[in-house]
Structure 1
Amino acid sequence: MLKNYVAYVRVSTTKQFIHGVSIAEQRRAITQYATLQQLNIIDWYEEIQSAARGRRPVFREMLKALKRHHYGLIMHKIDRGARNLRDWADIGDLIDEGIDVRFTFYFFGGVVWRGTDKKIERVFLWIGGSPP
């Protein structure tokens, strides 16, 4: 049986929506990743909003749904989800609750990276503490 995941895609500006790492490009990468990993995407959260100040209603709505249903989360790159300390902490909380967090960019770049591996644990330990 396939595990259920939600996908989050974000661009900062309407210009980025068309050029750069567009919503369509992120969706393509996530869909391809989910197919290769045999993951079932049950919902998409899409946002055109800067993450710099943390005012992202769609991101907040997604966090609530993930905590309620314990689906996994797939994003294209970490910077689509976390651009400030609060966002990092929120993603860390998901991981602590056993929610599988995955990033497709790192997979297709030749490195399989999952939110539960030691690298991200070291990053979270370093935030607010001494470097590993």
Structure 2
Amino acid sequence: MTSKSELPSYDAAAEKAYNETKMKPKMCQHTASETTHIDAQLQQPFAKAAMRTLSDALANIADNEQCTKCATESATLALTGFLREIHDDKKSGQWSKQEQKAFKSEAKGLFKGMKGDVKSVWSNKQVGVASG
């Protein structure tokens, strides 16, 4: 039997377990972006602000600086605000029909890969890296 002083602290054990199970996606090896319309939208100031808010909310949950409910509410507000801006731009005629179709196609391609990964997690299959 080991003594109490020989056992690693909870934080060290949790960190080791997290690092061992953490998945690292493969880096894309292409020259041109396959999601140029989405990339352009994500470079807009309102999108950057929304991404920072989402990042802060996740950090607050991880660091236990904010309750999960409050952090989730702020993340939801940021995400819905971002989607509202995109919807308003689309409806106000700032995007051509071609741009709308391209954006929709890019989004479907991204989310299709994510959907497959999420489904495989819930069906206890090994999660693969989504191909672009």
TM-score for both structures, normalised by structure 2: 0.28
TM-score for both structures, normalised by structure 1: 0.28
Is the helix fraction higher in 1 or 2?
2
Q: Which has the larger radius of gyration?
A: 2
Is the strand fraction higher in 1 or 2?
1
